[in-house]
């Protein structure tokens, strides 16, 4: 079992696959970016004055909006339709 970066590089060197390292690093960075993009986030009005009041959370790409701004936007949409 490979436990750290040095062991991984040594394994690639031993098996003659050291040229794969840049591709592996690209994949790891892509996976990290994906994980950051879909990591649960929560914003409150205290952190983001644009929200007016309340909070909103984003989890698994789904936005749950419980803010004053969201309520005003919903009200506006109902009025104009």
Question: 15-55, pLDDT tens digit by residue?
Answer: 999 999 999 999 999 999 988 888 899 989 888 888 888 99
Mean pLDDT along residues 5-19: 92
Do 30 and 42 share a structural domain? no
Do 57 and 32 share a structural domain? no
| CB 51 within 8 Å of CB 69 | yes
What predicted TM-score, i.e. pTM, was given to this entire model?
0.52
**Segments forming the whole domain that contains residue 62:** 38-81
Do 79 and 43 share a structural domain? yes
Mean pLDDT along residues 1-9: 83
User: Which comes out higher in pLDDT, residue 20 or 5?
Assistant: 20
Mean pLDDT along residues 3-16: 90
pLDDT value at position 52? 84
Do 43 and 9 share a structural domain? no
Check residue 66 and report its DSSP letter: E
Do 45 and 31 share a structural domain? no
Do 47 and 78 share a structural domain? yes
Do 11 and 28 share a structural domain? yes
Do 30 and 60 share a structural domain? no
- Give Cα 62 distance to the centre of its chain: 12
The strand pairing partners of 62, in sequence order, are: 59
Do 56 and 17 share a structural domain? no
Q: Are strands 41-44 and 54-59 parallel, antiparallel or unpaired?
A: antiparallel
pLDDT value at position 14? 94
pLDDT value at position 62? 87
Number of domains the chain is built from: 2
């Amino acid at each position: 079992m490979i436990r750290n970066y040095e062991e991984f590089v040594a394994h690639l060197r031993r098996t003659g696959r050291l040229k794969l390292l840049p591709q592996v690093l690209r994949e790891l960075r892509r996976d990290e970016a994906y994980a950051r993009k879909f990591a649960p986030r929560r914003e409150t009005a205290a952190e983001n004055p644009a929200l007016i009041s309340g909070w909103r959370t984003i989890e698994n790409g789904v936005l749950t909006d419980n803010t004053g701004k969201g309520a005003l936007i919903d009200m506006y949409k109902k009025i104009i339709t």
